[in-house]
Chain A
C-alpha cells in the first residue's frame, strides 16, 4: 500500500502562507525559511500524529521564534555568515499570476503599510485566519486587530483607486 506522510499535504496547503508571514516577521528576509522550518517542526512533533494541526499554532510559533531570534546572540553569528539579498513584499508573490496593473499597484501599496497593519492584513487575507485567531497569534485584543485591518483597507482604497484598470502592467492605456 502506498502511503504519504500527512504533513506533506498540510504543508502544500499552508507552506506558502506561512512563508509569507515569516518573511514579514523575520528581521532578515533570508531567515524566513529557517523560521518556518523551526516553527513547523516543533509544532508537528507535538501534534502532528493527529494529522490535524491548527495553522494558528504555527503562525504563533513563527512570531515567537522571530522575536527570540532577534534577541539571540547565537543567531546573530549565523546571520553574519549569510549573504542577504534585498527583497520587497512584491517579491513574495507569484509574479506569473500578477497580470493586472491594479494588482501590481495593490502589492506596492501593501508594502507601504505600517508593519503592524501589514501583518494583520496578511493573516486575514492570505492566511485566512479569523480576527480571534489573529488576536491570539499576535497577542492583541480582538478590537485592536479589527481596527488595524480596517485602517489597512482604508489606506489601500485610498492609494489604489478601483478606477485603476485590471490590465497587464506596463501596457499603455491608449494603445
Chain B
C-alpha cells in the first residue's frame, strides 16, 4: 500500500457526525405523505403479480383479474336481488314461458359452486330468511393490489404535482355460523394521491 492509499484509508476512517434525532424528525415532517410512498408497495398477493417491470403493468395480472371477476359477480347478484321479471315472469316485455328460471332444486344439483353460495340458486326469499338473526359482525379488510406512478401533472393555478394511483379491494365477509353461511363482497377501489412539487 503506497503513501496515497494510506492517506485515503486514514481519511476514510474519520466518520462525520450523524444527524441528530431531532433533525430526522424535522425531515420526516417535511416529507409528509411522500415519505410513506416507498413502504406502500406491499401487495402480498404473490410475487407473480409483481413480475412486470413497468410500474403500472401488473395491476390486471391474473390474481387481480380473478378477484375483480369475483367482485363483479357478487355486485351483479346484489344489483338484481328482487327483479320481478326473474321471479315471476311478469312486469316485463319478455314472456315468462320463454325464460327458463333456475329453481332452488336445479341449483342444488349443480356442483360447479357450493350449494349455499349466494351467487348460485339462492332466491331472494331464502336470502332474506337467512338475513335475520345469527349473523356475526361483518369482517372488513382493505387489500392493496398495486400502485402506479402516473408522472407529473399540471394543476391550473398551482404548482405541478406527482400523481400516484393506488388500487385496493375492499372485502367484507358476513358469516352466519348457525346456518353455516357466508357472504363475501369484494369491491375494487382506487385512490389518487397528489404530491405537490416545488420546481427549482
Note all chain A residues with C-beta closer than 8 A to B24. 8, 11, 15
When C-beta atoms are compared, the residue in chain B nearest to A65 turns out to be B200
Interface centre among B3, B35, B36, B41, by most chain A C-beta atoms within 10 angstroms, is B35
For A16, give its contact among B4, B18, B200 (CB under 8 Å). Answer: B18
Question: In the complex the two chains form, what is the Cα distance from A6 to B16 in whole Å?
Answer: 22
For B4, give its contact among A46, A157, A160 (CB under 8 Å). Answer: A157
Note all chain A residues with C-beta closer than 8 A to B149. 49
- Shortest Cβ gap from B6 to chain A (Å): 6
CB of B111 within 8 Å of the partner chain: no
CB of B80 within 8 Å of the partner chain: no
B15 touches A93 (CB 8 A): yes
* 8 Å CB interface, B1-40 against A: 3-4, 6-8, 10-19, 23-24, 26-28, 30-31, 34-39
B17 touches A7 (CB 8 A): no
Note all chain A residues with C-beta closer than 8 A to B8. 125, 153
For B200, give its contact among A4, A37, A42, A110 (CB under 8 Å). Answer: A42
| Interface-lining segment among A72-80, A99-107, A133-141, A167-175 | A99-107
Known contacts being A11-B24, A46-B162, is A5 close to B10, with CB within 8 Å?
no
Known contacts being A5-B35, A157-B3, A162-B6, is A37 close to B30, with CB within 8 Å?
yes
CB of B183 within 8 Å of the partner chain: no
Note all chain B residues with C-beta closer than 8 A to A64. 200
Note all chain B residues with C-beta closer than 8 A to A125. 8, 11-12
> In which size bucket is the chain A interface?
35 or more
Known contacts being A37-B27, A64-B200, is A94 close to B35, with CB within 8 Å?
no
Known contacts being A46-B197, A157-B7, is A15 close to B18, with CB within 8 Å?
yes
* 8 Å CB interface, A126-171 against B: 126, 153, 156-157, 160, 162, 166
For B198, give its contact among A20, A42, A162 (CB under 8 Å). Answer: A42
Note all chain B residues with C-beta closer than 8 A to A5. 35-36, 38-39
When C-beta atoms are compared, the residue in chain A nearest to B4 turns out to be A153
Known contacts being A37-B26, A44-B35, is A98 close to B14, with CB within 8 Å?
yes
CB of A70 within 8 Å of the partner chain: no
A45 touches B16 (CB 8 A): no
Per CB-CB distance, the 8 closest pairs between chain A and chain B, nearest first, are: A6-B38, A20-B16, A49-B37, A51-B38, A15-B19, A16-B16, A3-B39, A45-B34
Chain A residues near B (Cβ < 8 Å): 1, 3-8, 11, 15-17, 19-20, 33, 36-38, 40-42, 44-46, 48-51, 61, 64, 92-94, 97-98, 102-103, 106-107, 110, 121, 125-126, 153, 156-157, 160, 162, 166
14 A-B interface contacts by CB (under 8 A): A7-B31, A15-B18, A19-B16, A20-B16, A20-B17, A49-B34, A49-B149, A94-B18, A125-B11, A126-B16, A153-B7, A153-B8, A157-B4, A157-B7
8 new A-B pairs (CB below 8 Å) besides A7-B35, A37-B27, A110-B11?
A45-B162, A48-B37, A51-B41, A93-B14, A97-B15, A106-B11, A107-B14, A156-B11
